[in-house]
A and B are shown apart, each in its own frame.
Chain A
Amino acid sequence: MISDRTANASLRGFKPLVSAFLAALLLACGNDAADSDAGPVIDDYFETLQSQLLDAAPGDVIEIPGGKFTFDRPLSLTVDGVTVRGAGMNETVLSFAKQMAGAEALLVTASDFTIEDLAIEDSPGDGLKINEGENIVIRRIRTEWTNGPDTSNGAYGIYPVQTRNVLIEGNVAIGASDAGIYVGQSQNVIVRNNRAEFNVAGIEVENTLDADVYKNVVKNNTGGILVFNMPNLPQLGARTRVFRNRIVSNNTKNFAIPGTAVANVPAGTGVIINSNDQVEIFENDISENNTANIIISSLYASGLDGSETTDTFDPYPEGIFIYDNRLTRGGTNPDSFELQALKTLKFGLTGSLPDVLWDGYVDQAKLVDGALPPELRICIENGPAQIINLDAPNDFKNPSVSTTAHNCQLDTLPPVTLTGSLADNS
């Protein structure tokens, strides 16, 4: 996998880039940890830093100088209104390779929290977890498992859960055995200008309301960007916009632990919408994802059946609008025997699957005169892009390209507006 990364790094220089903005972004993020030199290794910083975290008062800024700091225990913060700031994501490196206890490297249970300009490496569990809080800024953080994709890597790199009013920008997430950037059960979130590579899921938005995910570079993951709803949680997600991202070559073999939701993600998937509603996918550059550039599925078809769910859980993806993306070279080599067979049968040995795969599950209870109400439909306005209905409800007996049936428009969602102390960042 290291060689893959090197190859990509060199390719990067030759590829014509779609915009000057993206070029700048890639240059800014171009330094992998393998190249970083944070200077001498400092082993005894735990007391200093954890004491600062314990004694912090609202308004405090905790500065961590350049250097590589190793920790045998996790760090934690419980005080509202604190900023933790390093000297840069390649200069201030917090290494947890020797961590002996704790399920994350840094656990924050506080609001009005900002963290920026440092790296968290090689945590046995999650990297940065923020469990419940509002007004959260995660900026120019690198979370990385430096050995590359590996099932024994920690699950999540950047992991805010049950948060509200959140800005995640300029970060780099590499090597997570679940999601590089995972936003769970949150509300009012912007995820932008990040780079996620070599994770099982690059960026995952789960059970979250009102999220804008844009201008991210999402490459070489198993699945690029996931918009999921899972059952048995206090909050169901809806209203996520995924736009102007570069979602390319997410073909890394799935290395998740079996049993996790992402273990069922086929390698070679650009975007997956699973059981979520009111999702807009537009103006992205989605290319070279070998199973499909976009998958739309329900909980039923994602290998997660047989489970108990609460009555209020809605497993059907509804109100999905896909438009104006650049969808190229997807579906050429799908990651399942059945999809390979389907590709050959329907599209020939040298053909490829359509850009959009849909499992075909529809909530029969919501049909009006045999059709879904307009606002619940899956609509695609994306030039020549086609959608195939896999007919999963009938055991995949009659998959069919059904592009014209999805030729419709939905009202677009309003942009996410950050509020309060984050209002200037929208």
Chain B
Amino acid sequence: MGRVQASIALLITVALLVACGRGSAPRPSPTPTFHESGFPQKLSDWGVISVADGHLRLSDRVFPYDLATPLFSDYAQKLRTVWLPPETSATFRAEGDFEFPIGTIITKTFYYGQTSNGAVSDEQVQLTTAGLALDKTRLIETRLMVHRAEGWVAIPYIWDADGKDASLARTGALFPLSLRRDGESSEEAAEFTYLVPNQNQCAGCHATNNTDRTLRPIGMKARHLNKTSSFQPAFNQLDLWLLAGALTSDEEIDATGLYANVNWSDASLPLNDRARSYLDINCSHCHSPVGPADTSGLNLEPDAEGAALGLCKLTIAAGSGAGGRPYGIVPGEPDESILVYRLETDEPAAMMPELGRALVHHEGAALIREWVTNLPGSCSA
């Protein structure tokens, strides 16, 4: 690909940038360790991310990444990293999941901004070259996906009260939290119960094929990763991985010709692209032709259309999720559309996704409402 050749010249620059980022931290970071079996008690046992000098730091060759549109998780912010064993790389796939070598460790750390009175906030805390500044941050949990010989394994860790390490939590947890958004006063804070999933609930999303039930990363697809890097804004994220040798491809990759999801919150982009990107990452790990929600006949992958997408589609087993509405999507009628209802409710039996949120994602639901409002056509009832 032309882009790679052009970018090769920048390889040294990138290396310098990465090196500079760690230059001021004299303490050496831990070395990532792949555990072939078992469930280590502490997150630090993996050596991928660690707390030092008031920061959550990434170890050497641990790459941060993000997705064009992320899954909503009760307004938590997320730091995603991937580490590959030395001398290995992932294999690019234009469609479907990238293939990762045995020994790959993916982490996702869920955190909020920290307010003075114990509430958490949605104030953004960005990863800097020093790491994630912990004085502004309330760490909640870190979820690992580890690629072992027997397949991917999901392992949840909950951050200890002292904030220095996180502890194994295979059965998950519930945390009462108070969330202040956009500088709201403490009276306006949303009280909710944050769920750390147990290992089976990890599989509830990551076993994206309900027949083979093997776990897979969800975001490690070209369509989610093909975007400008949030950490090296000069580069496309896929290019960065190629440059670093973390990703290889048998064929030329033309990032501009690849299907890419868009940033759901970028109002300058087409409404349909934003909505379909949002539905893809939030729903299609279950709502695909092979996922656990294939029982519903609803498919929210980017290429779904017609009744499979929910247009004038009867519900199968929505229960209270039907919300008194006739069809999955009634074009032009968000208040008649079950899809919109299930995003706008926080009732456990009715809401979608079923797990991973206790709050309504107001901005995301508003996007889908606007999309449905603008869909052409009607149901003939």
Chain A positions within 8 Å of B, measured between CB atoms, are: 46-47, 50-51, 53-54, 72-73, 76-78, 99-103, 107, 109, 123-126, 131-132, 151-152, 154-156, 159, 161-162, 177-178, 182, 184-185, 206, 230-234, 257-261, 263, 304-310
B316 with A230: CB separation less than 8 A: yes
Closest to B195 in A: A101
Q: List 9 A-B contacts (CB under 8 A).
A: A51-B171, A73-B198, A78-B213, A102-B354, A178-B319, A257-B322, A259-B322, A260-B319, A306-B379
Residues of chain A with a CB closer than 8 A to B348's CB: 99-103, 124-125
Closest to B292 in A: A131
Given contacts A47-B171, A232-B316, A259-B315, 13 further A-B contacts (CB under 8 A): A54-B198, A73-B174, A76-B201, A109-B213, A131-B292, A131-B295, A177-B319, A257-B320, A259-B326, A260-B318, A304-B314, A306-B326, A308-B311
Cα A109 to Cα B212 in complex, Å, equals 11
Q: Quote the shortest CB–CB distance from A178 to chain B (angstroms).
A: 5
Q: Contacts A51-B171, A100-B174, A234-B297 given; indicate if A126 touches B319 (C-beta within 8 A).
A: yes
Cα A184 to Cα B306 in complex, Å, equals 23
Cα A173 to Cα B210 in complex, Å, equals 27
Residues of chain A with a CB closer than 8 A to B170's CB: 51, 54
A109 with B210: CB separation less than 8 A: yes
A306 with B312: CB separation less than 8 A: yes
**Residue B317, interface by CB 8 Å:** yes
Cα A261 to Cα B312 in complex, Å, equals 14
Which of B297, B315, B354 is the one whose CB lies under 8 Å from A260?
Answer: B315
B319 with A308: CB separation less than 8 A: no
B-side interface residues, number (CB < 8 Å): 49
Which of A46, A53, A100, A126 is the one whose CB lies under 8 Å from B200?
Answer: A53
Cα A77 to Cα B171 in complex, Å, equals 12
Q: Quote the shortest CB–CB distance from A315 to chain B (angstroms).
A: 11
Q: Quote the shortest CB–CB distance from B327 to chain A (angstroms).
A: 6
**Residue B211, interface by CB 8 Å:** yes
Residues of chain A with a CB closer than 8 A to B292's CB: 109, 131-132
**Residue B204, interface by CB 8 Å:** yes
A232 with B297: CB separation less than 8 A: yes
**Residue B189, interface by CB 8 Å:** no
Which of B174, B207, B311 is the one whose CB lies under 8 Å from A72?
Answer: B174
Q: Quote the shortest CB–CB distance from A168 to chain B (angstroms).
A: 17
**Residue B308, interface by CB 8 Å:** yes
Q: Quote the shortest CB–CB distance from A332 to chain B (angstroms).
A: 30
Which of B193, B207, B294, B349 is the one whose CB lies under 8 Å from A103?
Answer: B349
Closest to B330 in A: A306
**Residue B33, interface by CB 8 Å:** no
Closest to A55 in B: B170
| Chain B 327-381 residues near chain A, CB threshold 8 A | 327, 338, 347-349, 354-355, 358, 379-381
B195 with A73: CB separation less than 8 A: yes
A177 with B316: CB separation less than 8 A: no
Closest to B201 in A: A76
Q: Contacts A109-B207, A257-B324, A308-B307 given; indicate if A46 touches B319 (C-beta within 8 A).
A: no
Interface string of B264-300 (1 = CB under 8 A from A): 0000000000000000000000000000101101000
Cα A307 to Cα B380 in complex, Å, equals 7
Which of A73, A178, A233 is the one whose CB lies under 8 Å from B172?
Answer: A73
Cα A423 to Cα B297 in complex, Å, equals 32
Cα A76 to Cα B292 in complex, Å, equals 14
Cα A154 to Cα B325 in complex, Å, equals 17
Which 5 residue pairs are nearest across A and B when measured between Cβ atoms? A155-B319, A306-B381, A259-B322, A125-B349, A308-B307
Cα A37 to Cα B323 in complex, Å, equals 35
Residues of chain B with a CB closer than 8 A to A259's CB: 315, 318, 322-326, 338
Residues of chain A with a CB closer than 8 A to B260's CB: none
**Residue B313, interface by CB 8 Å:** yes
Cα A323 to Cα B307 in complex, Å, equals 38
Residues of chain B with a CB closer than 8 A to A177's CB: 319-320
Closest to A80 in B: B213
Q: Contacts A178-B319, A184-B295, A234-B297 given; indicate if A54 touches B200 (C-beta within 8 A).
A: yes
**Residue B71, interface by CB 8 Å:** no
**Residue B29, interface by CB 8 Å:** no
Q: Quote the shortest CB–CB distance from B379 to chain A (angstroms).
A: 5
Q: Contacts A78-B203, A101-B348, A162-B295 given; indicate if A305 touches B381 (C-beta within 8 A).
A: yes
Closest to A96 in B: B348
**Residue B44, interface by CB 8 Å:** no
Cα A184 to Cα B315 in complex, Å, equals 13
Q: Quote the shortest CB–CB distance from B54 to chain A (angstroms).
A: 33
Q: Quote the shortest CB–CB distance from A210 to chain B (angstroms).
A: 19
B317 with A182: CB separation less than 8 A: yes
**Residue B199, interface by CB 8 Å:** yes
Kindly name the residue among A101, A184, A258, A261 whose own CB sees the greatest number of chain B CB atoms within 10 A.
A101
Closest to B348 in A: A124
Cα A178 to Cα B358 in complex, Å, equals 24
Q: Quote the shortest CB–CB distance from A105 to chain B (angstroms).
A: 10
Q: Quote the shortest CB–CB distance from B266 to chain A (angstroms).
A: 31
Residues of chain A with a CB closer than 8 A to B307's CB: 231-232, 307-310
Kindly name the residue among A185, A259, A261 whose own CB sees the greatest number of chain B CB atoms within 10 A.
A259
Residues of chain B with a CB closer than 8 A to A306's CB: 312, 326-327, 379-381
Closest to A131 in B: B292
A231 with B314: CB separation less than 8 A: yes
Kindly name the residue among A100, A156, A260, A306 whose own CB sees the greatest number of chain B CB atoms within 10 A.
A260
Q: Quote the shortest CB–CB distance from A204 to chain B (angstroms).
A: 10
B171 with A46: CB separation less than 8 A: yes
A258 with B322: CB separation less than 8 A: yes
B347 with A124: CB separation less than 8 A: yes
B312 with A308: CB separation less than 8 A: yes
Q: Quote the shortest CB–CB distance from B216 to chain A (angstroms).
A: 15
Residues of chain A with a CB closer than 8 A to B193's CB: 100-101
Q: Quote the shortest CB–CB distance from B322 to chain A (angstroms).
A: 3
Residues of chain B with a CB closer than 8 A to A231's CB: 297, 307, 314
Q: Contacts A107-B204, A310-B307 given; indicate if A260 touches B322 (C-beta within 8 A).
A: yes
Cα A155 to Cα B314 in complex, Å, equals 16
A257 with B319: CB separation less than 8 A: yes
Cα A346 to Cα B320 in complex, Å, equals 38
Residues of chain A with a CB closer than 8 A to B210's CB: 109, 131-132, 162
Kindly name the residue among A102, A152, A305 whose own CB sees the greatest number of chain B CB atoms within 10 A.
A102
Which of A53, A151, A307 is the one whose CB lies under 8 Å from B379?
Answer: A307
Q: Quote the shortest CB–CB distance from B152 to chain A (angstroms).
A: 13
Q: Contacts A109-B213, A259-B324, A260-B322 given; indicate if A232 touches B308 (C-beta within 8 A).
A: yes
Cα A102 to Cα B350 in complex, Å, equals 10
Q: Quote the shortest CB–CB distance from A226 to chain B (angstroms).
A: 13
